[in-house]
Structure 1
């Protein structure tokens, strides 16, 4: 068996929270990975944008905007989008990990199908969830068997909403695209025959001649080649599906008894329609249907091959290996193991390598079993660094680099040291500290910086003034914080400053503006006589960034003042609030300053 190429994203940690596991699938948005959320201690899925798209401002904006839209969708039949972010060169979105099996897995490689009323019940669950999405103006666009999860107890959930669409789809897919996909999946659920996404005018009766006419038309209408003749959205199609479902059930009691048991059954799919025509015909298919032994085989197959033992093997020893190597060795077992990660202290294994596994090496594991790999976080006990005499901020940074994250502050009067100076530590400098226990810093008295994030700007300024602290205000776009609300602060809450010390606060100006339309680009080419107040004259008058600014930007302080209407490109320089900045990438309407994580401006220093 050919060994798969190593996944460069496997085992990396995003924002010190999400440890990526094996790749589940790829799509237009990027690669989708199973991951472990260290903060919430749960398994999630993470979609990571392709590296060649990360520097495309428009693609990044569309990716994060779509993720934000999906976060706002709430329905039991939709996988929840839990968050999004950018960590260096990785742009990602986090989605709920669904328990159960996909329809693709339930149907296997062909030859299995659902009874019509069960198939319709599954489809009704899909449409109910999609109706909520369509009502919010959101279209799935890539619905398939591997994007629908069933839990065996009647639960149907839709996942896998793409975060980017093909560049050819300028406006994105429309709701009738999802209707076509649902009609195609209904055809597959009832016939057991998989068809390509672009196939139209499907007829159940061509494979299952005994199909009721209304059921046959239900699939044909949804897959009509002309979108005008399909149901316009999930809600309209759901109404028709429910009508046909009621007509097929003998009574409400019969429906209630069957519609929560989506168990695959054997089908008599014609030979020419089977998914794997070149494979040998299994023995159970060659046995006549009326022979009792054949019927017994069908029952056993429908029950999940209950009498056939599962594949199993001894788990290899992966302690001390990298997460990538451990994943490769487990994948080589060909048992489709579900691998997830967590952290553990280790005195013998280097940080980032596998410290232990659950189950342990030598244990017998069966196909599809879950294996938890504990990744070393280094020793639990470490030496307290010498931070006495430095500032509290410097002490915090040194302790965090050593692995201590729980830091407590005790203020003490000192006639010799300036406020905010570290006087002593507990445990003492050079002693062994437990990384699970707090480190206490005894700091000379001063003013404790309060928590300002979430406060209105005027309230934050008033609070600092009441403590005798000065304030510096910078504005920055923020996706969730309302306009005028503090979205960040430096130094962090709890820091001790001398009286009249300065606290910098970042105030939200609301979400970043959308990417400019083509009309704006055309206006850049207009002559000064046609557009003498905006971007058209930025090269002549220095009113904005643009490429023209770079010609005379030897001294960054000679650059023009930042202008919110100007389009700046990578390398353009501006002045803003007494400092010089350089654009990291294409940007418009985003002021310099603020957090480094998302800031498109590079601080060049004070002017």
Structure 2
């Protein structure tokens, strides 16, 4: 089987500036990568549109619209957009890199949020949304997946992929682009969105934060869409009794089916929520006003049927007897008939509106049931075993084929990627290629031994590995800071190949051991200490030396092999030359005396010629007998002639 890289963009550089390092996330329109900005030396997130969508002018325009819309916004609660461009056949935009989890991740962890968490997240989202609305931008895809909870505590709203100007309208088909669970009724029925549509999505998200569930659920998207168009979002306190009435009211206010009954924009909702969070009095909402005028039924209250309501509208007491009503004037009865006719007309109009909504919902049902929506969506399979992935594809009426590819992150044997990617819609029965991980790719190991540490680090990174650490420094004949060995994660020297992105450790030269021969002990100790070696007197020794003066260092005594900074060493100190006693040769024949001194290791001399030495007797030496001098010292022998 042919191995293919998990992502061809990793390692590439866009516009000679943005080096793609790793993949962060995938979406329906684009892939998001972590990258290095070479120019400004910072980490950024790069959003690259899928290749197959780049051929669609509508998608390309929408993608570029995101860049233009987001670039107009600057707010602490909005993800910043820095740049946009095209390179390597890809359309991309550059955003602020934000190490974070999403609100969806937090909801999965906690099920639902506390009241305090809900207020904090809600206020941040409304603050960012308010800035967008103030700039004339509608988000159009507000949902927990697009709320970023940064590691440093910041809360930011991102992904303006479906954003449009507030004044722009859309067609009904485009209404399906948002997430069904958060679509406002006007998007479902008319395909028209404005700032108040974002508020509806916020209200649904607020309900989900408080209860842990979405207000409307169903097996098919059309069922959820139908509920948005025909049902009121329930108050969260029905599922979570801890919800205060003020938050119930905010959910009701923002999720009114009629847009005119919602806050006019996020700023108005933000004022309400900020006051609530900080304990200030909250203003009455547009929902509260009609509730205050509603008559509360008591046991004595009479509930009127339709005919009685028509009579009441005509000015006739509906509780009076029929005889009393017979006595009413003809004009009064005619008014009652007219009122009833108007009521029946209103009923026919209401029925017509309901029929239109049903047809619209039916169209949505056709889209997902028999039209383009009937296609199966490729599920997310990365990290699953091949058997698990096959089973998941079977559940989606899709087939599987398996290839192999290397992967830095996915364990061996697990699914590293799919082709096409997760979220792609395919005809049922189509085949999805599963790429089974073979682990990291094995890459050639460059030469590192003999290079300086900086040169070796560059070679490591350039070859596709990562630098680990300097595990050891040791003294050697090489210059300081030169790499002596390159080790893998097992501590062994590297071979010809090594796993991609594997960590490489160095053994580095500390330079040569200082040469202290001939130095005085203190001078030698200072030089060794400067090289991070410790002089241990217990390792030292003394010895006679004919060449090194007494008290000077003859040599270094090593205790380890190799020698490393921090090791202990000893000093061999000179006692000077070894001395020998001059023997007493007086009274000996001169030649005998000369031989005795030579045998003792000295160099005897005399003024008597060789031929006369047998006639001479040694009398004394200079230096004198008994003195100690080094071997080889010249000894002068005095003598007298025998009579």
Kindly indicate which of the two structures has a greater share of residues assigned to helix.
2
Query: TM bucket by the smaller chain?
Result: 0.3 to 0.5
Larger RCO: Structure 1 or Structure 2 (Cα < 8 Å, ≥ 6 residues apart)? 1
| TM-score when normalising by structure 2 | 0.38
